[in-house]
Amino acid sequence: MTMLMFSSCYKKDNWSEPDARVYGNIIDSYTKKPLLTSQNDWSIRIWERSWKESTPINQNIPVKQDGSYNNNKLFAGSYDMLPVGGAFWPFVDTAKGVTYTKGGAQQDFTVTPYLQVVDLTATVTGTNLTLTCRIKAPKRTGLPNLVEVKPFISLTSFVGESNYINIAEYNDKRIQINKSWVDENGDVETSKLYTIGPLPVKSGYTYNVRVGANVNDTYKKYNYSEIKQVIVP
């Protein structure tokens, strides 16, 4: 094996590596707990305002499945921050001038989800899995049309739109609604019971399952139920 070495211009970059940190949680305004979401489904947009040389172009910090985010490789400085693209009512209250330092800055955001997926049950009969759930829409005025209620099934602990078993046997069982909330459920907060299935599963496997529901907003991301673990005997 030949090793090639190139050496030229041994001048060190005079800019130290970025080591400032920002972290925090996205809080669901209804539950006051971290928002139920899917890994890397959407992100926090940040703009560095302390950099004056050019117009800043936004960077994105992805949000994790547990509703938290963290980045410790940023340049220290002052930033504006805005959560964008998730399944919640448009968030307009940009956090201005958040100072990122090596020690880290915590910045939490409270968002209002479009929907909540509640009362999830998962029943295994033989090698068939049946899911039931209800959807809640606490804020219905101006709510975009409901799109669908969809099962997400995974063999790992990550389950959601960014990681699920994408086969027709599961996807064809999603319930396509494409109607307004009122047309589907009437002007009530909690929907009827949705039953999804039967979904074929394999004996001896452990599945992680959850249900997502979305509305026809710009991003069509899902609001999720909690994750349930299903062991198929």
Partner 1 sequence: MVFSACQKLDLEPKGILGQPELFGNEFGVKKYFTGIYNNLPIEDFNYYGNNNPSGGNAFRPDNYWEAGKNSQGNCSGEFFNTWQGVNNGGFGYWPYDRIRDVNIFIQDFPTYKSKFSDAAYNALMGEAYFLRAFFYFGMAKRYGGVPIVKTVQNPLSPKDSLEVPRNTEYDTWKFIYTDLKFAIDNMPATSEYGRANKFVAAALMSRAMVYAGSIAKYTTYMNYGSEKAYTAGLAGIDPGKANEFFQYAVNAGKLIETGSYSLYTKNYPDKALNFANLFLDASSTENIFVKDFDQTAPHNTRLRHTYDALMAPQPDMSSFVGAESYPPFDFMELYEMPAYTNPDGTPVRFTNRSDIKIDMEPRMKGTMYFDGDLLRGKAFSIQKGIYRNYTGTAADAQRGSNGAPINSGGNRILGGRGWTTVINGVTLNITGAHGHFDDQGGENNGWGAAFVRKYVNPAPTPAEVSVYTSGTAWIVFRLGEVYLNTAEALYELGQRNEAFDYIEKLRVRAGCKVPRPAIDAATTNIGTINKANYPYQIEKSLQFIRDERERELYGENHWWWDLRRWRVADQVLNQFRPRVLSCYYVASEGKYIYLDETNRINRTWSANKACFYEPIPGGEIQKNSKLLPNNPLY
Contacting residue, 63, 147, 159, 196, with partner 1 by CB under 8 A: 147
Contacting residue, 38, 209, 217, 224, with partner 1 by CB under 8 A: 217
Q: Tell which positions 168-187 bind partner 1, by CB under 8 A.
A: 168-169, 171-172, 178
**219 is a contact residue toward partner 1 (CB under 8 A):** yes
**96 is a contact residue toward partner 1 (CB under 8 A):** no
Can you tell me the distance from the alpha carbon of 113 to that of 57, in angstroms, rounded to the nearest whole number? Answer: 27
**33 is a contact residue toward partner 1 (CB under 8 A):** no
**57 is a contact residue toward partner 1 (CB under 8 A):** yes
Tell me the site size for partner 1, rule CB under 8 A: 21
**156 is a contact residue toward partner 1 (CB under 8 A):** no
**59 is a contact residue toward partner 1 (CB under 8 A):** no
Can you tell me the distance from the alpha carbon of 214 to that of 219, in angstroms, rounded to the nearest whole number? Answer: 9
**97 is a contact residue toward partner 1 (CB under 8 A):** no
Looking at beta carbons only, is 2 or 218 nearer to partner 1?
Answer: 218
Smallest CA-to-CA distance from 148 within 119, 121, 120, 171 is with: 171
**220 is a contact residue toward partner 1 (CB under 8 A):** yes
**Minimal distance in Å, beta carbon 148 to partner 1?**
9
Angular region, 160: left φ>0, alpha ψ -120 to 50, beta rest? left
**126 is a contact residue toward partner 1 (CB under 8 A):** no
Can you tell me the distance from the alpha carbon of 111 to that of 99, in angstroms, rounded to the nearest whole number? Answer: 22
Q: Which residues bind partner 1 (CB under 8 A)?
A: 54-55, 57, 90, 92, 144-145, 147, 166-169, 171-172, 178, 200, 216-220
